[in-house]
Chains A and B, each alone.
Chain A
Amino acid sequence: MLPRILLYVLLIFFAFMFVLPFYAGITTSLKTDTDVIKTSPITLPPTVTFGPWISALKTMGRPLLNSLAFTIFATIFSCFIGSINGYVLSKVRFKGSDVVFLFFCAGIFIPYQTVLIPLVLTMARLGLYNSLLALILTHTAYGIPICTLLFRNFYKDLPDSLVMAAKADGAGTWRIYQSIILPLSLSAFVVAAVLQFTSIWNDFLFGLVLLTGPNVPASVALANLKGTTTSTWNTLMAGAIWFALPVVIVYLVLGKYLIKGYMSGAIKG
């Protein structure tokens, strides 16, 4: 019995440590400017105000929409391209497909910093500098390797006979993808989408170098909140919560499928 109690004590302790910053963030964001200075971060606000939330939204409203736009499109594109790649590399296959797959995997390990200068130059030449399309393209490209890996491994567990049966039934490569592979990959799509949404949403570097002015993404706008005004911690915390909200919603909505996707290997008939 004792070890079990010990386990719970430890779990509660770590859960508490984990929740503490969120708690401090929420209390601080609801405090007035003077209360922020007078009280400690973890005390409850003496007077509750939503002012910081509104002022944070005033600066971050447009950037949040920017982020939402390019994150959604880049997530969809990278997932679909990854899925098609994964299908071709695992089920269609061609001479050297394993080597091609290896190159895709190598793409996962390219650090963002190494491509910054060529990226900015390329986007500038394409006339896409400071446009949301630039970020959609960049994040789609950066997401393809990991999505390809994910889908390829997911499809590898689908029985080959399924594809052969569809072929024998007269379906072509594309028809097999549409009618058989795609409907069976819902859980893989959820995993890939959550992964991509989170990483694209949280990206700072590409947004910082490719976008300026009103086009900046939320991550950059949040950082600017700190620099432009003198330590208005309540506004900063409110901004951070606004920024975290979409990811939290994604997790809440797709969490159920996410766990299923992580757990399920093959969908056996």
Chain B
Amino acid sequence: MVKVVIKNLTKKYATVQAVKNLDLDIGDKEFFVLLGPSGCGKTTALLCIAGLLRPDAGEIWFDDKLVTSPQRDVYLRPQERGVAMVFQDYALYPHMTVFRNISFPLEVTGASQNEIERRVKATAELLDISQLLDRKPKQLSGGQRQRVALGRAIVREPKIFLMDEPLANLDAKLRVYMRFELKKLHQRLGTTTVYVTHDQVEAMSLGDRVAVLRDGVLQQVTTPKELYDAPKNVFVAGFIGSPPMNMLSGKLLEKDGNLTIELVKKTFDMDTSKVGGRIIYCAFKDLGGPGVRFSSTDVAKALDERGWHVTDEELSTALDSMVDNAQLVKEREEYCLPKEAVLTGDESAQTRHVQVLATFDLPSSIREKMKDANTLEITLGFRPEDIVLSKNSQSNALEAKVEMMESIGREIHIHLTFGDYPIVAVATAVEDTIIGKTVWMIPNEEKIHVFDGKTGELLA
């Protein structure tokens, strides 16, 4: 059993910096998960630990043994490190039987025939694949291949298991089952395990601790619960949790001695006495609404039908300026309204900003972060389950519109729009009749997260 210490690990590919100054402390017998979106450098870090990839800088220690250090020109081969790895595509040797696949690492080390026989049999029994030993990988199902790949790793009795998305190629049901099996196996063997995944559910359910990586930079290392309850920045907050945390940008300001958050709600208005307003009106009423694409001839036709005649030149100038003002999205000679656009009947053709004030009981430590400034740009985050919806206007509640509801069995996801921000709330029971209606949401004051609007770091 062994603990792994990674210091300042850095790896650069031709143009991309895959891992930047990574520091990690992985405890003995720990199930440690590296979590992040694809391309965040988690696999690169794992390959460096395995000794399959040379980093550009940094050190890797297994207990008090230095295994990788480009500066000191130390680079132990995988077998000298005592690591075993499970790959995403299993990487079983297609021409060998299951028995030989599992025995290969032992053959390489020159173990005796008796020893090989005994250990392969024991491993096969542990993984319940004894009846498959004579088969070739091609004759196995996904789950069985997965077990063989695990067997090949276990049979060497390594000091550390390294797993690179080992469950990614399994179907949903099997994945949940194998997750449980992996956890059981780890409890039984107690081997230090480093596990790479992009699946937060896997990470949360398997990991003793989880490290979140983004673009090669470590974001946060902590227990799954802590990661969920106290994300250190906007990225972690948004990455962990499904449906994800709701985020609103706003300003922090002091009002009557209280810290108050001012949220900005953007709405789309139109003025049908102007060409731009007419285009927006047609886009909403005749051309299919937000997100539906149309060409300039479609608009011209729709305008004509409503009796609003425009010349081609007027139309193209108007369209161009609307694209510039982000009122329309242009893509390959086609236009559409932004997905979050909402139609209101106001008189100006500009995007209107509505200010909403919400007062939360914020810790005074935030005040220190504001320093002398009167206001501070922030991002307000709250999880879908931390919202209470009310049909009646209430103080400190945010007015939102219900767009859609999804029932996923034990809970209902309510999709709302607050200005142009999409919001998701989770409830156990709700009336169908509220779709399309205005509701007031009250985020649980104790569970809100306030992040710095510029850096994305947690303020409170």
- Chain A min CB distance to B256 (Å): 63
Q: Are B138 and A269 in contact (CB under 8 A)?
A: yes
Q: With A159-B91, A170-B78 known to touch, is A165 a contact of B85 (CB < 8 Å)?
A: yes
Asked if A169 and B104 make an inter-chain contact with CB atoms under 8 angstroms apart, the answer reads yes
Choose among A168, A169, A267, A269 the residue that contacts B90 (Cβ–Cβ < 8 A): A269
Do A159 and B78 touch across chains, with their CB atoms under 8 A apart?
no
8 A Cβ contacts from B189-228 to A: none
- With a CB–CB cut-off of 8 A, which chain A residues contact B373? none
Interface residue A260 (Cβ < 8 Å from any Cβ of B): no
Q: Using known A-B contacts A161-B88, A168-B85, A170-B105, determine if residue A184 contacts B94 with beta carbons closer than 8 Å.
A: yes
B286 within 8 A of A: no
Q: Which residues of B contact A169 (CB under 8 A)?
A: 78-79, 84, 104-105, 108, 152, 156
Interchain pairs with CB closer than 8 A, number:
67
- A161–B88 Cα distance when bound, in Å, is 9
Q: Least Cβ distance of A129 to chain B in Å?
A: 44
**Nearest residue in B to A182 (C-beta to C-beta)?**
B95
Residues of A contacting B: mostly: helix
A34 to B95, CA, bound (A): 60
Q: Knowing A170-B79, A269-B138, say if A165 contacts B108 (CB, 8 Å).
A: no
Query: What's the least CB distance linking A214 to chain B, in Å?
Result: 45
Tell me the B67-99 residues at the A interface (CB within 8 Å): 77-79, 83-85, 87-95
A92 within 8 A of B: no
Smallest beta-carbon distance B8→chain A, Å: 24
Q: Which residue, A167, A168, A170, has most C-beta atoms of chain B within 10 A? A: A168
The CA of A169 and the CA of B92, in the complex, are separated in Å by 11
A180→B104 CA distance, assembly (Å): 10
A269 to chain B, nearest CB (A): 4
Q: A165 — which chain B residues lie within 8 A by C-beta?
A: 85, 87, 91-93, 152
Check A170/B93 contact, CB under 8 A, given A269-B138, A269-B145.
no
Q: A162 to B93, alpha carbons, bound, how many Å? A: 7
**What are the residues of chain A within 8 A of B47 when measuring CB–CB?**
164
Is B137 interfacial (CB 8 A cutoff)? yes
User: Shortest beta-carbon distance, B157 to chain A, in Å?
Assistant: 13
A87–chain B nearest beta-carbon distance, Å: 15
- A 173-205 to B, binary, CB cutoff 8 A, 1 in contact else 0: 001000110011000000000000000000000
Question: Measured between C-beta atoms, what is the minimum distance from B119 to chain A in Å?
Answer: 14
Q: Which residues of B contact A180 (CB under 8 A)?
A: 93
Residues of A241-269 at the interface with B, using a CB-CB cut-off of 8 Å, are: 267-269
The yes or no answer to B430 lying at the interface (CB within 8 A) is no
Enumerate chain A residues within 8 angstroms of B145, measured Cβ to Cβ.
Answer: 269
Q: How far, in angstroms, from A267 to B89 measured CA to CA in the complex?
A: 13
Q: Does B109 contact A (CB under 8 A)?
A: yes
Q: Of A161, A184, A268, which one neighbours B87 at CB under 8 angstroms?
A: A161
Q: Is A76 located at the chain interface by the 8 A CB criterion?
A: no
Task: Kindly report which residue of chain A lies nearest to residue B152, judged by CB atoms.
Answer: A169
B93 to A168, Cβ gap below 8 A? no
Instruction: Establish whether residues B52 and A167, one from each chain, have CB atoms under 8 Å apart when the complex forms.
Output: yes
Choose one: B89, B94, B137, B138; the contact of A161 (CB below 8 Å).
Answer: B89
A268: nearest chain-B partner, CB-CB: B94
Q: Given A164, A170, A175, A269, which contacts B92 in the complex, CB threshold below 8 Å?
A: A269
- What CA separation (Å) do A161 and B166 show in the bound complex? 13
Is the CB of A171 closer than 8 A to any CB of chain B? yes
Query: A234 → chain B, closest Cβ, in Å?
Result: 50
A to B CB contacts below 8 Å, 9 in the list: A161-B91, A164-B91, A168-B50, A170-B105, A170-B109, A179-B93, A269-B89, A269-B91, A269-B93
B contact residues vs A (CB 8 Å cutoff): 47, 50, 52, 77-79, 83-85, 87-95, 104-105, 108-109, 137-138, 145, 152, 156, 162
Given contacts A168-B78, A169-B79, 13 further A-B contacts (CB under 8 A): A159-B89, A161-B88, A162-B93, A167-B52, A167-B78, A168-B162, A170-B105, A170-B109, A179-B93, A180-B93, A269-B89, A269-B94, A269-B145
